[in-house]
């Protein structure tokens, strides 16, 4: 699987807004809506996003890995 890395540049911005921006960017860039997000366990509780599986992995808290399974 190939991921797009999304860096959260403003950690003060609400996490759901960052996630929405990342998902929209992925869809625009690759033409496919992502269905998986890997994130730091430090971002728990991670908000639910319909149709997107979220998995905590050992990465920095300001990074989201977004892809299509």
* pLDDT given for residue 46 in this prediction: 94
Q: How confident is the model at residue 51 (pLDDT cuts 50, 70, 90)?
A: very high
Q: From start to end of 1-69, where are the E strands? A: 3-7, 36-39, 53-56, 63-67
pLDDT at 1 exceeding the cut of 90:
no
Query: Please, what is the Cα angle at 3 between 62 and 27, to 5 degrees?
Result: 95
Structure-token pair, residue 56: 């905590």
| Tokens 């990342």 belong to residue | 22
How long a stretch of residues is the chain? Answer: 69
Contact by Cβ (8 Å): 66, 3:
yes
Would you call 49 helix, strand, or coil by DSSP?
strand
Q: How confident is the model at residue 63 (pLDDT cuts 50, 70, 90)?
A: very high
pLDDT at 11 exceeding the cut of 90:
no
């Amino acid at each position: 699987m190939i991921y797009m890395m999304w860096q959260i540049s403003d950690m003060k911005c609400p996490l759901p807004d960052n996630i929405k921006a990342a998902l929209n960017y992925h869809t625009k860039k690759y033409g496919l809506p992502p269905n998986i997000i890997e994130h730091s366990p430090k971002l728990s509780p991670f908000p639910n996003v319909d149709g997107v599986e979220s998995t905590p992995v050992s990465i920095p808290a300001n990074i989201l890995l977004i892809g299509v399974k």
